Chain A
Amino acid sequence: MSGFVAVLRKDLRLEVRSGESTIALVALSLLILVVLVFALDPVGGVRGAGIAAGALWVAMIFAGVIGSTRALHAERDNGCIRALILSPLDRGALYVAKLTAAFIFMAIAETAAVVLMVLFFNLDFDARLLRLAPVIALGALGFSALSTLLAAIAGRIRAGDLLLPLLAVPMFVPALIAGVKASGAALTGAPFGAIAQWLKILVAFDVIFLAAGYLLFEHVVGED
């Protein structure tokens, strides 16, 4: 437990002092939303909860991929990852610490992205956004679980930056489908029952990838 706290505190302190990951994630989410506003203009413009939900998840996936590539460089540049591997820390605890840090950065970026989405897509700041919270939290958790495991692989091969999205995006598809549907339903004010089945898929996705990451992480960071 103390190892988990130490690694998490290190990542958070690094972030508070440099702000690199969060600023990069928020800036990218902003850019992706702006690009989508221009891209979707010919097909009737950017009104409607459905399009807003889709745009939010596009921003989430691409900002998430680039954010985890960033985190990977930070670990690799000064040989930090080697020091972490050499430490007597349990591999599972290391995985959970890295994933918690990734989740916190993503959650901050997603909060910013939701505010931007409301502004850009002419929605309202109301109670419907609260229903969006569990959907986005589950999505960000699943993506962090997946990308933390895959980034550990990508960080150790030459063209890893390129490989990370090629592996992460197809694997994230079920969460993406469920997330977009649930977000759209939440934003149009649909009853909870309409969201529940999609939330179940998100929970299943998170459980599978958390378990797989926890069990397989030691094989990925092992030395030989």
Chain B
Amino acid sequence: MNKSLNLALGALTGGLMVVAIYMVFEYVPTEADQGIVQRIFYFHVPCAWVAFAAFGLVAICGIFYLWLESPIWDDLGYAAAESGMVFCTLVLVTGSIWAKPIWGTWWTWDSRLTTTLILWLLYGGYLLLRAMADDTPQVARFAAVVGIVAVADVPVVVVSVRLWRTIHPAVLVTREGGHGLEDPRMVATLLVALAAFTALFVWLLILRFATLRMRTRIAKLAGELNLAHAAAGDL
């Protein structure tokens, strides 16, 4: 990948992350009811946003792969699924850390927690497919199909789990239509954290994508080399 792009993205991510951490620990006021624990929210929500965006990207790449059959889309989908999985794991971990003091338990079968766990399992399955079928030539198509089906499944998961039960606080969109962040400094901190995590995601995605592109190229060269050897052997 382009070296200056890599440096620029790294610097942008690093800078934004430092500002975000400063704002979370120094700038933003402590929430009245929950106290200091609530500050994890500024990392939790951006991770969730990034994970959902990444999984959406997996499906879009799947559709483009089946349509155009270009390995670029396959590599981008793979990179998105891997990065998304990292952030989805972080959502579950930060959520658990917050839930212990607030709800008194690490885990509860609330609708958003359950939905996130199902997502985690779905894309865990997707990555296992990619790992297990590494030597199968059609792996890219299989992964594309599973990525599309997984995203098609998400709306039904959300509706069914919501009907099942919910106690998760609706901070960003409450039932009254407003949002739960009273202080403008809280909104500012959340926005900066969102930008920082989005930059981090894009950076990781591009790095991983570049590695996978290189892997595809090496596999292609190795195939050509084998063919050349076989041809030489035949003579």
Q: List residues of A whose CB falls within 8 A of some B CB.
A: 149-150, 153, 156-160, 162-163, 166-167, 169-171, 173-175, 177-178, 181, 197-198, 201, 204-205, 208-209, 212, 216, 219-220, 222, 224
B149 touches A201 (CB 8 A): no
Q: Which of B128-182 contact A (CB under 8 A)?
A: 128-129, 132-133, 135-139, 141-142, 144-146, 148-150, 152-153, 156-157, 159-161, 163-164
Q: Does the CB pair B149–A224 fall under 8 Å?
A: no
The count of residues in chain B whose C-beta lies closer than 8 Å to any C-beta of chain A is 33
**Residues of the B chain whose Cβ atoms lie less than 8 Å from the Cβ of A153:** 129, 142, 145-146
Whether A174 lies near B156 (C-beta < 8 A) is yes
Task: Report whether B135 and A174 are in contact in the complex, using a CB–CB cutoff of 8 Å.
Answer: no
- Select which of B126, B138, B157 is within 8 A of A173 by beta carbon: B157
* Interface 9-mer from B71-79, B98-106, B117-125, B184-192: B117-125
Q: Which residue of A lies closest to B136 (CB)?
A: A157
Q: Which 4 A-B pairs have the closest CB atoms?
A: A174-B160, A170-B121, A174-B156, A157-B133
- Are A167 and B118 in contact (CB-based, < 8 A)? no
* Chain A neighbourhood of B142, CB < 8 A: 153, 156-157, 220
Contact residues in B for A224 (Cβ distance below 8 Å): 137-138
- Does B66 have its Cβ within 8 Å of any Cβ on chain A? yes
Report B49 CB to chain A, min CB distance, Å. Answer: 22
Measured CB to CB, the nearest residue on chain A to B115 is: A173
B contacts with A: majority SS: helix
Quote the shortest CB–CB distance from B134 to chain A (angstroms): 9
Give residues in B with beta carbon < 8 Å to A. 66, 118, 121-122, 124-126, 128-129, 132-133, 135-139, 141-142, 144-146, 148-150, 152-153, 156-157, 159-161, 163-164
Complex A-B: 6 CB contacts under 8 Å: A149-B145, A167-B125, A169-B121, A171-B153, A201-B160, A220-B138
> In the docked arrangement, what's the CA distance between A216 and B152, Å?
12
Q: Is the CB of A158 within 8 A of B132?
A: yes
Task: Using known A-B contacts A157-B142, A201-B160, determine if residue A219 contacts B66 with beta carbons closer than 8 Å.
Answer: yes
Known: A157-B136, A220-B142. Is A208-B160 also a contact (CB below 8 A)?
no
A207 and chain B: residue at smallest CB distance: B156
Q: Is the beta-carbon distance between B66 and A177 smaller than 8 angstroms? A: no
A177-B150 Cα distance, complex, nearest whole Å: 17
Given contacts A163-B132, A163-B133, A173-B118, 15 further A-B contacts (CB under 8 A): A157-B132, A158-B135, A170-B118, A171-B150, A171-B153, A173-B161, A174-B160, A177-B163, A177-B164, A205-B156, A208-B156, A209-B152, A212-B149, A216-B149, A220-B142
A171 to B149 CA separation, bound complex (whole angstroms): 8
Contacts of A158 in B (CB 8 A): 132-133, 135-136
CB pair B160–A166 under 8 Å, yes or no, is no
Q: Closest A-chain residue to B164, C-beta based?
A: A177
- A205, B161: Cα distance in complex, Å: 13
Q: Which residues of A have CB within 8 Å of B157?
A: 173-174
Among B121, B141, B156, which residue has its beta carbon within 8 angstroms of that of A204?
A: B156
Other-chain residue from A163, A174, A175, A219 in contact with B161 (beta carbon distance below 8 A): A174
Q: How far is the CA of A108 from the CA of B174 in the complex (A)?
A: 47
CB-defined contacts of B132 to chain A, threshold 8 Å: 157-160, 162-163
Contact between A170 and B133, CB atoms less than 8 A apart:
no
**Are A177 and B137 touching (Cβ within 8 A)?**
no
Q: Give the CA-CA distance A160 to B129 in the complex, in Å.
A: 9
**Bound state CA distance, A205 and B160, in angstroms?**
10
Given contacts A166-B125, A212-B148, A174 and B153 within 8 Å (CB-CB)? yes
- The chain B residue with its CB closest to the CB of A198 is B163
> CB < 8 Å: which of A201, A219, A220 contacts B156?
A201
